[in-house]
Amino acid sequence: MTQTDAIADVTVRVQVVRREHTGLMLVALVTLAALIILVALCAPVLCPYDPYAQDLSSALQPPSAQHLAGTDRYGRDLLSRIIIGAQPSVFFTLLLVALIAITGVTVGVLCGWKGGRLDVVLMRVSDLFLAFPGLVFALAIAGVLGGGMTNAVLALAAISWPKYARIARGLTLGQKNEPYLDAARLAGCTTAQLLFRHILPNIAGPILVTAMLDIGTMMMELAGLSFLGLGAQPPMAEWGSMMSDSRSFLQTAPWTVIAPGIAIFVVVMVFNLLGDTIRDYMDPKRRAGRRNARSE
Tens digit of each residue's pLDDT (9 = 90 or more) over 192-228 = 888 888 888 888 888 988 998 899 899 999 999 998 8
pLDDT (average), residues 118-137: 85
Please tell me the distance from the alpha carbon of residue 38 to that of residue 51, in angstroms, as a whole number: 18
Q: What is the pLDDT of residue 257?
A: 93
pTM of the model: 0.84
Q: pLDDT by residue (tens digit) across 159-196?
A: 899 999 999 999 998 888 888 887 888 888 888 888 88
Q: Domains in the chain, please, with CATH?
A: 9-295 (1.10.3720.10)
C-alpha distances out from residue 185 to 181, 201, 215, Å: 6, 17, 37
Q: What is the pLDDT of residue 101?
A: 94
Task: List residues bridging with 77 in a β-sheet.
Answer: 71
Mean pLDDT estimate for the chain? 84
* The pLDDT of residue 43 is above 50: yes
Give how far the C-alpha of residue 267 lies from the chain's centroid of Cα atoms, to the nearest Å. Answer: 10
Q: What is the pLDDT of residue 15?
A: 47
* The pLDDT of residue 296 is above 80: no
Neighbour tally for 143: CB within 10 Å: 15
Please tell me the distance from the alpha carbon of residue 7 to that of residue 13, in angstroms, as a whole number: 10
Handedness of CA 284, 176, 118, 189 (dihedral sign): negative
SS (H, E, C) the chain: CCHHHHHHHHHHHHHHHHHHHHHHHHHHHHHHHHHHHHHHHCHHHHCCCCCCCCCHHHCCCCCCCCCCCCECCCCCEHHHHHHHHHHHHHHHHHHHHHHHHHHHHHHHHHHHHHCHHHHHHHHHHHHHHHCCCHHHHHHHHHHHHCCCHHHHHHHHHHHHHHHHHHHHHHHHHHHCCCHHHHHHHHCCCCHHHHHHHHHHHHHHHHHHHHHHHHHHHHHHHHHHHHHCCCCCCCCCCCHHHHHHHCHHHCCCCCHHHHHHHHHHHHHHHHHHHHHHHHHHHCCHHHHHHHHHHHHC
Please tell me the distance from the alpha carbon of residue 79 to that of residue 73, in angstroms, as a whole number: 14
Nearest to 113 by CA among 157, 178, 205: 178
Nearest to 82 by CA among 275, 296, 288, 262: 262
Q: pLDDT by residue (tens digit) across 58-106?
A: 889 999 999 999 999 999 999 999 999 999 999 999 999 999 999 999 9
Nearest to 109 by CA among 205, 213, 203: 203
Nearest to 158 by CA among 184, 181, 132: 132
Would you place residue 13 in the very low, low, confident or very high pLDDT band (cuts 50, 70, 90)? very low
Number of Cα atoms under 13 Å in the Cβ half of residue 136: 5
Phi, psi of 77 (to 5 degrees): -70, 120
Q: What is the pLDDT of residue 87?
A: 92
